[in-house]
Structure 1
Amino acid sequence: MLIILPTVLYGGVSLLRLLTDPGSGYAENPLRQDLFRAGHAHAGVLLVLSLITLRYVDETSLSDGWKQFVRSSIPTSAIFLPAAFFFSVLSPDAAKPNAFIYLAYVGAVLLGAGLVTLGIGLLKGKNDA
């Protein structure tokens, strides 16, 4: 988690640099603007979600292996989803996302699996194990 936060901060600074540099080509490519914005937003929101969900993992009746899965899958999705958005349009003249966009599916599956697993563990309760 402590590694992800500086990357979100770096992404924000990079976006600011692209916005203020007329030669960056950022303003001329709406697709790139949208996906960079989506990547930065997903990174921040998923980082906050990760911090919130980590607080609840030990309140579940999940086994140690499943707890570790939840602890790693949700923060990992905070890496894969934004990476898909950023890396899929690195070229300033990108007209469509490249194959890196498929990382978004990997991140979405990790996020969904982690949240469902956490939800099941919370519904079962700590004493029902």
Structure 2
Amino acid sequence: MLELSPAALTTAGIALLAAVTVTSGGYFMTQVVTAKVPATPFQTSFYRAGHAHAGVFIVLGLVCLVLTEATGLTGAWAWLARTGVLVAAILMPAGFFLSALGRGRQRPSRLVLLLPLGAAFLVAGLVTLGVGLLTV
């Protein structure tokens, strides 16, 4: 049986607690789609994308965290493989939600730059983990 390192256990605990915010995002989404919170079509689509990315990336991030324990990666490489997707789970949804904030917004604000930054962490984490698994 695979035993998780203290770093993996701590990261998993934080990720699971952070997953609670996805629940509050789901409640917010019900308020948007039932018109209890006014939103433009652009805002509604960005809020949906942010909510979906958050949930999917937290689950994928937890899988990556466990798989990292099966590699020989150490130091910064292990950190990137273990947490890259989880960092993306914060940055990308934040980019969707925060860039859509503002009454009647029709286009994203500058905070949309969080999306490519999150995508970079996503790709870097996945590639690092993939290479780590292939070289065990």
TM-score, with length taken from structure 2: 0.84
Residue 127 of structure 2 corresponds to residue 116 of structure 1: yes
Query: Could you say which residue in structure 1 is the equivalent of 2:32?
Result: 18
Q: Assess if the C-alpha contact under 8 Å between 1:46 and 1:77 holds in 2.
A: yes
Using the alignment, how far apart are the partners of 2:112 and 2:63 within structure 1? Answer: 27
Deviation at 1:48, TM superposition (A): 0.9
Using the alignment, how far apart are the partners of 1:74 and 1:51 within structure 2? Answer: 9
Matched AA of 1:7: T
Using the alignment, how far apart are the partners of 1:15 and 1:94 within structure 2? Answer: 17
Residue 77 of structure 2 corresponds to residue 63 of structure 1: no
Secondary structure of 1:3's partner?
Answer: helix
Using the alignment, how far apart are the partners of 2:44 and 2:66 within structure 1? Answer: 34
Q: Assess if the C-alpha contact under 8 Å between 1:4 and 1:79 holds in 2.
A: no
User: RMSD of aligned C-alpha atoms?
Assistant: 1.3
Deviation at 1:37, TM superposition (A): 0.5
**Deviating runs (4+, > 4 A) in structure 1?**
none
Matched AA of 2:19: L
Using the alignment, how far apart are the partners of 2:101 and 2:90 within structure 1? Answer: 16
Alignment: residue pair count: 122
Matched AA of 1:66: W
Q: Assess if the C-alpha contact under 8 Å between 2:61 and 2:83 holds in 1.
A: no
Could you list the runs of 5+ residues in structure 2 that have no partner in the other structure?
Answer: 1-14
More displaced stretch, 79-88 vs 67-76: 67-76
Deviation at 1:62, TM superposition (A): 1.2
- Deviation string 1:49-90 (CA, Å, 9 cap, x unpaired) is 011111100111212331122222210100000000000111
Deviation at 1:21, TM superposition (A): 4.2
Matched AA of 1:18: V
Matched AA of 1:97: P
Could you list the runs of 5+ residues in structure 1 that have no partner in the other structure?
Answer: none
TM-score, with length taken from structure 1: 0.88
Q: Assess if the C-alpha contact under 8 Å between 1:32 and 1:92 holds in 2.
A: no
